[in-house]
Structure 1
Amino acid sequence: MTQTLQARVTFQTRNLYFVVTKEQKQLTGTVSGHFQQQAYTPSDFPVIGDWVEGTLYDSDKLLITAICPRKSLMTRKMAGLTSDNQPIAANVDTVFICMSANHDFNLTRLERYLYIAWESGANPVILLTKTDLVTEEQAIEMSNNIQEATAGIPVISVNQLMDMRQALDSYLAPKATIVFVGSSGVGKSTLTNQLVENAHQKTKEVRKEDSKGRHTTTNRSLFFLKNGCSIIDTPGMREIGIASGFAENSSSFETLESLAQTCKFTNCQHETEPGCAVQAAIYRGELSEERLKNYRKLEAEKKYNERRQQFKEKQQNKKAKRREKNYEE
């Protein structure tokens, strides 16, 4: 008799998945042929953090037939010209955006991470890492700059000399899932190693001249704390593309969008129109021109990717109709 069960994806390499059942039994999994035929985009396949259903065979293998409903899915646009969305992690409660207190400190990049974090359905928290590399005054200034740019999102300053479990304790609840994202060399794997016994994630020194790290984590991995909390470590992201299909508004630009709703004209482009609340806020020093520029860039990128995705979906629909017609004949 075949046994159907549910398991969670903890690791993926090519078409092979490592999964853990609710009883903590480790299995290897592959998707069924029918599953592959129904999947059109990368997000249609299992990703780290997914709960999947399947049939057990050979005592330790799972033939994956379905993905359980996701409560969140973090994605970014794939690198290059493709318009496909690359899934990063699923069923995440808290996204820890890691940015180190060195040359990696970049508020524009932070806004991109916030954009994809909010749109995933998870809650973002910003970790300012490696604060031991700067003076206390510099660390406080960086933290204040982040808070001013992110409108109330929690900011936690950490370094490797601290007790990470104590610093992040309120987010490490049983059954909660957190993910660390950020550039290479910001300390994601170091954080994972300090929180998870036997994680053994590889770490490397960053280059002194520009503080850039090298890719030490090459695959996404999910680990479990003893209390049942799940932690996902991810490789560094050099390119943070805005995926298609995002909502019109993003909470990462909530202040700017609230201002835009009070402009005199509903189609205001926030340039030279009379009664523009956004330009008035810039004049008063309440909003920076750089933030408006970043917002426009993200919106333009999002619309471009949406057009590419719509074109791709039309092509896929045409191919599907041709397959159906050939099958009927």
Structure 2
Amino acid sequence: MTNIELGFTELLSQYQQSEGLDGFEVGRVILEHKDRYIIKTPTQEFDAELMGNLRFMAESKYDLPAVGDWVAFSEFDEGKALIHEVYPRSSIIERQAVGKVGQIQIIAANIDFGLIVQSVNRDFNLNRLERYLTICHASKVEPVIVLSKIDLIDEDTLLTIKNQINERINDVAVVTVSSQTKGYDELNTFLKKGKTYCLLGSSGVGKSTLINHISGKSVMKTGNISSAVNKGKHVTTHRELIVLDKGILIDNPGMREIGITDASGGLEVTFETILSYAENCKYSDCTHVHEKGCAVLEALDNGEIDEGAYANFRKMEKEKEHFESDTLERKKKDKNLGKLIKSAVKQRKNQKF
């Protein structure tokens, strides 16, 4: 195995040279647990922690390592390492942090493809699918829709699901698989050495089973099917990078909430059909809700825009606006707190003299 097969690129190599990082080892974060990390190189894995200055200088989560990151590190004991710097990222898949107003959670870094897995028997949901597509598009990550557990429904039902996807989603590949190995040959055509694939989906949709089929061996533990709900038990408890013979996979715990941050136009890509009508709106600041002369509303009335897609677009757009507002408010509070601390420190120093 080489660093290139692990995903190291020419751009990262150039950064390594320009920043004088040749004196450090380079590796990829394959596991993150609180403030501890597992780093993988072509020959070894290291239990790592952050250098003090990297930890204390970090202004946000963006400055700290995440699964998929490349880092410069030094070994200080057998199998032990210190992380000195995080290399620039080519992409970041993120969502709103659950229960934390105005904050983000990094799902994974340096991703090339997002494999969005939905089971067709119970989990399939077009609105949720559009949410996953939006976080992929915002991250400039190419999405692939994987419909799992197709052996649990009949052909007509599967065809109906595919038609629903085609009516609302354009230019995204759709692959169907089952636990009985069906469909994995097609999925394997997307996998390439040196490329990184992030699995996205709810609990019990079959992500661990998918990894085992792709790898050709039992890499991940899988849960039994519950007869009560006909659903697999969720067994993944942390993010983990798995190096396969062909490509690199990042598995994730199932996500119940997919809060939109979207600072990079993901909504515009996901709902391109809707927003193409917006170019003909009478007002440039049209909200597409109540204005006369709104081309989007006119297309909606004429049946040219799917009502479900429009409702989901509006909901996610509001969510994005709220997140941006919450983020600005939180930054303002942090800034005021910083000023208060500096003032208190200065006052204490003056009292000493």
TM-score w.r.t. the length of structure 1 is 0.91
Which whole-Å CA distance do the structure 1 matches of 2:225 and 2:126 have between them?
20
Q: Which residue of 2 is the match for residue 62 of structure 1? A: 81
Report SS of the residue matched to 1:64. Answer: strand
Q: Which residue of 2 is the match for residue 5 of structure 1? A: 25
CA contact (8 A) 1:77 1:244 kept: no
Deviation at 1:313, TM superposition (A): 1.7
1:108 aligned to which of 118, 127, 134: 127
Q: Deviations 1:141-168 (Å, cap 9, x if unpaired)?
A: 1112112211121111111223565222
Alpha-carbon distance change, 35 to 322 in structure 1, aligned in 2, over 3 angstroms: farther
Q: Deviations 1:265-324 (Å, cap 9, x if unpaired)?
A: 212232443332212222222212222111111111111111111122223333445556
CA contact (8 A) 1:41 1:84 kept: no
Considering only CA atoms, is the larger Rg found in Structure 1 or Structure 2?
2
Q: Percent identity?
A: 36
- For structure 1, which segment, 48-57 or 281-290, has the greater mean C-alpha deviation from structure 2 after superposition? 281-290
- For structure 1, which segment, 41-50 or 318-327, has the greater mean C-alpha deviation from structure 2 after superposition? 318-327
Alpha-carbon distance change, 12 to 155 in structure 1, aligned in 2, over 3 angstroms: same
Q: Deviations 1:66-106 (Å, cap 9, x if unpaired)?
A: 11010010001011242210110111100011111112111
Q: Is residue 212 of structure 2 the alignment partner of residue 193 of structure 1? A: yes
Report SS of the residue matched to 2:189. Answer: helix
Report SS of the residue matched to 1:171. Answer: coil
Q: Which residue of 2 is the match for residue 137 of structure 1? A: 156
Q: Which residue of 2 is the match for residue 264 of structure 1? A: 282
Gap runs ≥5 in structure 1: none
Deviation at 1:11, TM superposition (A): 1.0
CA contact (8 A) 1:164 1:191 kept: no
State the one-letter code of the partner of 1:247: G
**What is the root-mean-square deviation of aligned Cα atoms in Å?**
2.3
CA contact (8 A) 1:32 1:65 kept: yes
Report SS of the residue matched to 1:232. Answer: strand
1:17 aligned to which of 37, 58, 76: 37
Q: Is residue 75 of structure 2 the alignment partner of residue 89 of structure 1? A: no
Alpha-carbon distance change, 248 to 226 in structure 1, aligned in 2, over 3 angstroms: closer
Deviation at 1:137, TM superposition (A): 1.6
Q: Which residue of 2 is the match for residue 218 of structure 1? A: 237
Deviation at 1:327, TM superposition (A): 7.4
Which whole-Å CA distance do the structure 2 matches of 1:308 and 1:85 have between them?
11
Q: Is residue 169 of structure 2 the alignment partner of residue 162 of structure 1? A: no
2:172 aligned to which of 153, 170, 175: 153
State the one-letter code of the partner of 1:139: L
Report SS of the residue matched to 1:168. Answer: helix
Report SS of the residue matched to 1:48. Answer: coil
Q: Which residue of 2 is the match for residue 281 of structure 1? A: 299
Which whole-Å CA distance do the structure 2 matches of 1:32 and 1:225 have between them?
30
Which whole-Å CA distance do the structure 2 matches of 1:81 and 1:6 have between them?
33
CA contact (8 A) 2:134 2:262 kept: no
Which whole-Å CA distance do the structure 2 matches of 1:320 and 1:54 have between them?
31
Which whole-Å CA distance do the structure 1 matches of 2:255 and 2:290 have between them?
37
CA contact (8 A) 2:176 2:183 kept: no
Which whole-Å CA distance do the structure 2 matches of 1:117 and 1:261 have between them?
24
Q: Which residue of 2 is the match for residue 42 of structure 1? A: 61
Deviation at 1:42, TM superposition (A): 2.6
Alpha-carbon distance change, 276 to 118 in structure 1, aligned in 2, over 3 angstroms: same
Q: Which residue of 1 is the match for residue 71 of structure 2? A: 52
Report SS of the residue matched to 1:52. Answer: strand
2:309 aligned to which of 275, 291, 315: 291
TM-score w.r.t. the length of structure 2 is 0.85
Q: Which residue of 1 is the match for residue 8 of structure 2? A: none
State the one-letter code of the partner of 1:253: F
2:258 aligned to which of 203, 227, 240: 240
State the one-letter code of the partner of 1:172: L
2:322 aligned to which of 292, 304, 322: 304
Q: Which residue of 1 is the match for residue 96 of structure 2? A: 77
State the one-letter code of the partner of 2:187: L
Alpha-carbon distance change, 324 to 68 in structure 1, aligned in 2, over 3 angstroms: farther
Which whole-Å CA distance do the structure 1 matches of 2:233 and 2:323 have between them?
29
Alpha-carbon distance change, 272 to 315 in structure 1, aligned in 2, over 3 angstroms: closer
Alpha-carbon distance change, 24 to 152 in structure 1, aligned in 2, over 3 angstroms: same
